[in-house]
Amino acid sequence: MIHFIITLILWGILFSIKAKKSLHMLQQNLYNTESRYIKWINKNFNKLFLNIDTLILISFIFLIFSNNYIINTIIFDIFLVVCIIKYNVDNKEEKKHEKKPLVYTKRIYRLIVTICILLLIPIVIMFIGFDLIYLKYYYIILGFIVYLTYYVIYIANIINHPVERYVYHSFKRKAVKKLNSNPNLKVIGITGSYGKTSSKNILSDILNIKFNALPTPKNLNTPYGLIMTINNHLDKFDDILIAEMGAYKVGEIQELCDLVHPQYGILTKIGTAHLESFGSEENIQKGKFELIESLPSNGVAILNMDDEKQVNYDIKNPVKKIWISIDNKNADYQATNIKMSNLGMSFDVMIDGKKRNFKTKLLGIPNIYNILAGIALGHYLGITDEQLRKAVSNVRSTEHRLELKKVGDINIIDDAYNSNPVGSKMALDVLNLMPGKKIIMTPGMIELGEKQYELNYDFGKSIASVCDEVILVGPKQTIPIQDALKENGYNAKKIHIINDVKDGFTLINSLKDKNTYVLIENDLPDSFNE
């Protein structure tokens, strides 16, 4: 019995090491929303199951043909120890490159409790009917459990689903009650395929010159995120709640609107982001317009006249529509006389028949659209022209969205938060404005469904026309970009392929000139590491 207990301890250690990694990936894949965790397992099947863990399966051969419980125990323990050592070494190396560690939320702790209960069931049964004759079968059962750790965590997540729904609805009721207690609160919803967070933060900076506006923090754009914002941050002094709204499929924006009931809505840009989960571009368009269709008839929609998917959509809601544009003079608010440099941008806007000049430290055409939306809604809500100009000049850059910063003697254009076809092209345009050596570091774009190769290939062609050096993160992920660079005659010596973005900074230091600008375009989560 003592030998079996020692084996159980070793087995528990190995399972704990693997379970932490599994929980980390489950969390990064939104607790299997849209089967993301299962897709991650399938995508990384060889990496997860054809590795050191196969030693566990090999040990079964010895166990099956041996009836000596001491030899069986020694063999199984040796294989467990080897796996533990190997995983510890690998985890130390992975930790150096980890972008976002596992966050031990209450949900994770609930999962850990469920996992422990699942593991205790076979162990208790073994102890109740313990017999040395069956020892090798105990080891085979334990071996299969630890080998299939990633699926054990998946099962625990399924078991916990009713509990999580109960927790969600209890917090939701609290949030709804809080919203109902503040009937004068104005709610603005912002959605689109790209630019939601930047638009939200810019709008917040503009509106806060006159109002107390609360934006959802960071990229909290799910039902959980909105509920957390309302319960933890909204108070009686807030005049406006700015709700960023994200979605992976049709119906999710509607769910968010049913929660907070926005009176105002801003559509940024409708494109191909999350095409894989939406299923089609038509579904993306329909999903984003759920915000506009849910507004009250006396509400206001801020729409982009330069976006064909917005112009061509048949809006059934008789809501007031305010159009912004750069290219179309028929828009209610058009940015003209745009001037850009590495220091910022300036542009003119006609407001109440008068031309007003605006200056901003922000970079990139997408931010002009975001500022225009803020100007349009701010003006509608009674902010004066002079207040708008002052607010725009003080708008802050959003972290990891075309954020210009200095790291040592290198100028970084940080556009690391989730690249997309439109944003990546605009980011290259910004890089092209810079007066120095131009380097890009990128893993390419993801979640573009059947268009992923084509759109990354086009991205590669644009890179070839702008960049002096190219650092690609992930040899497999970046194949379309590699193909585009080679087929467009880009110097192969200027193409550098690495496995992790952190390794790129050492490389950048060896490539830099006296005046170097580095565009960091997209930084995939740990679940996409190769």
Q: What is the CATH number of the domain that holds 240?
A: 3.40.1190.10
DSSP class of 133? G
Residues 229 and 362 in one domain: yes
Res. 314: pLDDT tops 80? yes
169 Cβ contact partners less than 8 Å away, ≥ 6 residues apart:
none
Q: How many residues does the chain have?
A: 530
3-state secondary structure of 151: helix
Residue 311 lies in a domain: yes
Q: What pLDDT does 218 receive?
A: 81
End position of a domain, from candidates 352, 374, 393: 393
Whether residue 527 has pLDDT greater than 50: no
Judgement on whether residues 319 and 272 belong to the same structural domain of the protein = yes
CATH of the domain at 438: 3.90.190.20
> Residues 6 or more apart from 57 whose CB is under 8 A from it?
143, 147
Q: 327 and 226 share a domain?
A: yes
Structure tokens at 264: 């105002």
Residue 346: pLDDT over 80 = yes
Cα 362 from Cα 383, distance rounded (Å) = 21
Residue 11 and residue 42 share a domain: yes
167 in any annotated domain = no
Share of the chain above pLDDT 70, in %: 97
Is 60 exceeded by the pLDDT of residue 202?
Answer: yes
pLDDT tens-digit readout, 393-424? 999 887 777 888 888 889 999 888 767 788 88
Per-residue pLDDT tens over the stretch 347-363: 999 998 899 999 999 98
| Predicted local confidence at residue 34, as pLDDT | 78
The 3-state DSSP class for residue 2 equals helix
Say what the pLDDT of residue 252 is. Answer: 92
User: What is d(CA 416, CA 421) in angstroms, rounded to the nearest whole number?
Assistant: 14
At residue 321, what are phi and psi to the nearest 5 degrees?
-115, 130
Q: Is the pLDDT of residue 509 over 60?
A: yes
The parent domain of residue 11 ranges over 2-159
If asked whether residues 323 and 453 sit together in one domain, one would say no
Residue 164 belongs to some domain of the structure:
no
Token pair of 101, please?
A: 């560690």
CA distance 177 to 185: 13
The verdict on residue 176 lying in a domain is no
Q: Same domain for 255 and 364?
A: yes
Question: What average pLDDT does this structure show over 327-340?
Answer: 95
What distance in Å separates the CA atoms of residue 298 and residue 378, rounded to the nearest whole number?
17
Residue 528 has pLDDT above 50, yes or no: no
- Residue 45 forms part of a structural domain: yes
Boundary of a domain, candidates 369, 393, 417? 393
Number of domains in the chain: 3
Specify if 50 maps to a domain. yes
**172 within a domain of the structure (yes/no):** no
Residue 289 sits in the same domain as residue 142:
no
Q: In what order do the strands lie in the sheet with 495-498?
A: 403-407, 410-415, 516-521, 437-442, 469-473, 495-498
Q: What is the DSSP string of 419-438?
A: --HHHHHHHHHHHHHSSSEE
Query: Is residue 381 domain-shared with residue 408, that is, in the same domain?
Result: no
